[in-house]
Amino acid sequence: MVETLNIEINKVAESRLSQVDFNNIQFGKIYSDHMFRADYDQGEWKRPKIEPYGYLPISPANQTLHYGVSIFEGMKAYKHQDGSVALFRPLENQKRLNRSAERLCMPDLPEDIFMEGLTRLMQLDKNWVPNLPDTALYIRPFMFSSEEYVGIKISEQFTFLIITSPVGAYYTNPLKVKIEMEFARAVKGGTGYAKAAGNYAGALYPSKLAQQQGYQQLIWTDGQEHKYIEEAGTMNLFFVINDTLVTPELTDTFLPGITRDSIIKLSKHLGFKIEERKITVEEVVDALKSKTMTEAFGVGTAATLTSISHIGYKGTDYEMPNSAGGYFSSQLQNNLEDIKTGKIVDPFGWIHKIT
């Protein structure tokens, strides 16, 4: 790509790469050598930088600390067999970041800052992209208010950062999940569709209660009536009912996942029957009771495709007939991972190679 931004680059004196045991990486514990940074002030983005990964000084009156003015994205880079590094659908993240930014009164982040920053960062830290099965370099772009002001107002100063982290699987086993019928993650007209930090903070307490009951995740239902299935906090949801894949149609109350969109397109490409529509809790429970639901799984960047082994509803746990995954989930998982890692041809134009 043509570089236009003149990014200021300050490299680490010594890489930390040799300290990393790539055979034993946990999700989100290690960060690569560099981070990308762009600051916004007085109505414009300033000259961006790449600098050593490190702590940020922060005012105790910072608006983000008090009011949660923070949004983020998640994407992954993969090592292909020829040694090249490939990103998966990065422009979708840039577009979604800006939809979140609009909702939280944050500035639009131009495509060139996002893509050039990402590209230069990947070029510098390409050796941090792992190549073992089920590993990737997780990329976390995020933006927050950097303004020092303890009153409530729309901020005028922001920081955009990209940090990266070599990761293994987010979930290592199929999940036992509970349909949440009391608490709400989001309501109509709220911020549910945005990747806003506060959505995740608000989900912690109901998730903690569910964990105390032996569940690893919640299936959120709509905040008004608890009648419709929405998402699972870290993942969008798919069910196989009567050999048809069904997934909740998008509303403004849950995240329009990029993996969700990819799974829908891939399903159509593979000739699977797939429906995006409203799914009631009642339909899910009936399908579990009658065993017409044969598979359930969540999808997300971090979670990739994770099978659901049990679904809990009002004190009863229903075990999935294919609790460790079945035909649909394994086909979709394998095909998607093979596209991402360059093992099969990408028929969709999703792969963005770093040159």
Interacting residues toward ligand COI by CB under 6 A: 74, 234, 300-303
* Rounded least distance, CB 324 to ligand COI, Å: 21
For the record, the structure tokens of 186 come out as 């989001």
Nearer to ligand COI, 74 or 107 (CB): 74
Nearer to ligand COI, 38 or 303 (CB): 303
Closest CA to 140 of 31, 21, 16: 31
* Rounded least distance, CB 68 to ligand COI, Å: 15
* Rounded least distance, CB 292 to ligand COI, Å: 29
CB atoms within 10 A of CB 330: 16
* Rounded least distance, CB 234 to ligand COI, Å: 4
Answer whether 158's CB lies under 8 Å from 101's CB.
Answer: no
Answer whether 59's CB lies under 8 Å from 148's CB.
Answer: yes
Nearer to ligand COI, 49 or 99 (CB): 99
Q: What is the distance between the alpha carbons of residues 238 and 222, in angstroms, rounded to a whole number?
A: 16
Q: 122: Cβ–Cβ under 8 A, 6 or more apart, which residues?
A: 77, 85, 87, 129, 354
Nearer to ligand COI, 159 or 304 (CB): 304
* Rounded least distance, CB 300 to ligand COI, Å: 4
Nearer to ligand COI, 22 or 72 (CB): 72
SS3 assignment, position 194: coil
Nearer to ligand COI, 106 or 299 (CB): 299
* Rounded least distance, CB 340 to ligand COI, Å: 14
Beta strands in 59-216 (DSSP E): 70-72, 75-79, 85-88, 136-145, 158-167, 175-179
Q: Using CB positions, name the residue nearest to ligand COI.
A: 74
Q: What is the distance between the alpha carbons of residues 101 and 195, in angstroms, rounded to a whole number?
A: 9
